[in-house]
Amino acid sequence: MIRSCVTISLVPEGRGPFIFCGDLAASCRQAKDLGFDAIEVFPPSAAAVDASALRRLLHETGLRLAAVGTIAGWVLQRLTLTAPEAGKRAHAREFIRSIIDLAGQFHAAVIIGLMQGRHAEGMDKAAAMGHLREALNDLGEHAHKYGVPLLFEPLNRYETNLVNTIEDGIHLLGTLSTKNVKLLADLFHMNIEETDVAAALQGGGDHIGHVHFVDSNRRPAGCGHTDFTPIAAALRDIGYQGYVSAEVFPQPDPAEAARLMIAAYRRFFAV
């Protein structure tokens, strides 16, 4: 079945499109009370998370850890896997590797979004894609040790000039030696880049490993113009059995945003 998930940022500088922020324990209890199945956490680093405390918290609430994000590698340290400097690329890879080691303890996937970087002066696209493939092969195999996929997120053109669509992502996966990288389909980015979001998901098939559930304007479902009915149908058609994770702005406030998202999940996916 398709399961619900809600985002929690532990990075104040990366407040962004995350419903809950800062207090992990309080956020988990709110998620439980609302009926979410899982959480998706964005920590400042692997070392900043007390794994034992997190394990106790998940046991107390009955929640699963669906995924762990790496946005802090970019927001706090400006690290990318395609930086022109070899030292920065190595640092970025080690940051993600440490997040994989944290998430793997909970059988949770790790997300690579903004840390994919972009090509610019000093790094043409062919070279950048070469560095990206090398990193994904290495990190995908590292995640494989924990029996979980590495999640790669195509982003819109304003955030990267490397991989923007699901089709671009499928092409990238086809050039990798590892088979342990899946795509994260973010409906906000897809609204910008795809001609037909539902058709793109159909085309993604079993390459789709995670979904960011969000309306067209990065607000909660129902606050934009996205038609979720064909999207939900497409995910069911491809046999998707993962999470739809609420990665949205906490508007009008976190509690109401979370309430809107769990209600939308029940309407479109809990059938």
Q: How far apart are CA 203 and CA 106, in angstroms?
A: 30
- For residue 220, say if its preceding peptide bond is cis, omega within 30 degrees of 0: no
Q: Which residues contact 171 (CB under 8 A, 6 or more apart)?
A: none
Instruction: Name the token pair of 33.
Output: 């009370």
What percent of the chain has pLDDT above 70? 99
- Nearest C-alpha neighbor of 182 from the set 136, 214, 219: 136
**CATH assignment of the domain containing 226:** 3.20.20.150
pLDDT tens per residue across span 5-19: 999 999 987 678 999
pLDDT the model gives residue 14: 65
For the chain, how many helices (H) and strands (E)?
10, 9
Q: How far apart are CA 82 and CA 131, in angstroms?
A: 6
Q: b/e map of 226-247 (b: 16 or more CB within 10 Å)?
A: bebebbbebbeebebebbbbbb
- Mean per-residue pLDDT, 69-82: 97
Instruction: Name the token pair of 2.
Output: 């398709």
**Which residues are identified as catalytic?**
153, 247
pLDDT the model gives residue 198: 98
Domain count, the chain: 1
- Mean per-residue pLDDT, 197-215: 98
Q: b/e map of 103-131 (b: 16 or more CB within 10 Å)?
A: bbebebbbbbbbbbbbbeeebeeeebbeb
CB–CB of 233/201 below 8 Å? no
pLDDT the model gives residue 113: 98
pLDDT at 122 over 90: no
pLDDT the model gives residue 118: 95
CA torsion angle 97 103 109 113 (round to 10): -50
pTM over 0.85: yes
Identify the domain containing residue 203 by its residue range. Answer: 3-268
- Mean per-residue pLDDT, 16-31: 95
pLDDT tens per residue across span 47-67: 999 999 999 999 999 999 999
> Tell me, what DSSP letter sits at residue 84?
S
- Nearest C-alpha neighbor of 36 from the set 264, 268, 262, 269: 262
CB–CB of 158/174 below 8 Å? no
How many CA atoms within 13 Å lie on the side-chain side of 154?
30
Q: How far apart are CA 112 and CA 136, in angstroms?
A: 9
Q: Which residues contact 196 (CB under 8 A, 6 or more apart)?
A: none
